[in-house]
Amino acid sequence: MRPRSCWWRIAVGWIWLLVVLELAVHTPLQQHWPLNLLNVLQPWWAIPLLPGLLVVWHTPRWRWTTLVLLAAWGIGYSPRWFPPTTGGAPSLRILTWNVWGRNTDAANLISIIEHEQPDIIALQEVDEQLRQPLVAALSATYPFYEVRLPTEPGLQPSDLALFSRYPYISAPIDCPYWRCYRRAVTMQLGNQALTFINVHIERSPQATLSISGLTIPLSLSTIREDTVIAELLRATQPEQSVIIVGDFNTTERQAGYTRLTTQFHDSWRESGVGMGFTWPDRWFLPELVRIDYVWHSAAWQSISAHTGSGASDHRYLMVALSQR
- Mean residue pLDDT across the chain: 86
Specify the CATH number of the domain 92-323.
3.60.10.10
pTM of the model: 0.88
Task: Write the CB contacts of 11 (distance below 8 Å, at least 6 apart in sequence).
Answer: 51, 52, 55, 56, 62, 66
End-to-end Cα, the chain, rounded Å? 65
Query: Which residues of the chain have a pLDDT value below 70?
Result: 1-5, 7-8, 87, 149-158, 208-218
Looking at residue 191, what is its pLDDT? 85
Q: Could you state, in order of their start, the residue ranges of all structural domains in the chain?
A: 3-81, 92-323
| Residue 140 DSSP symbol | T
Looking at residue 20, what is its pLDDT? 82
Question: What CA–CA distances, in Å, run from 84 to 55, 164, 273, 303?
Answer: 36, 29, 10, 10
Looking at residue 157, what is its pLDDT? 43
Looking at residue 112, what is its pLDDT? 98
Sign of CA dihedral 187, 203, 308, 230: negative
Looking at residue 149, what is its pLDDT? 67
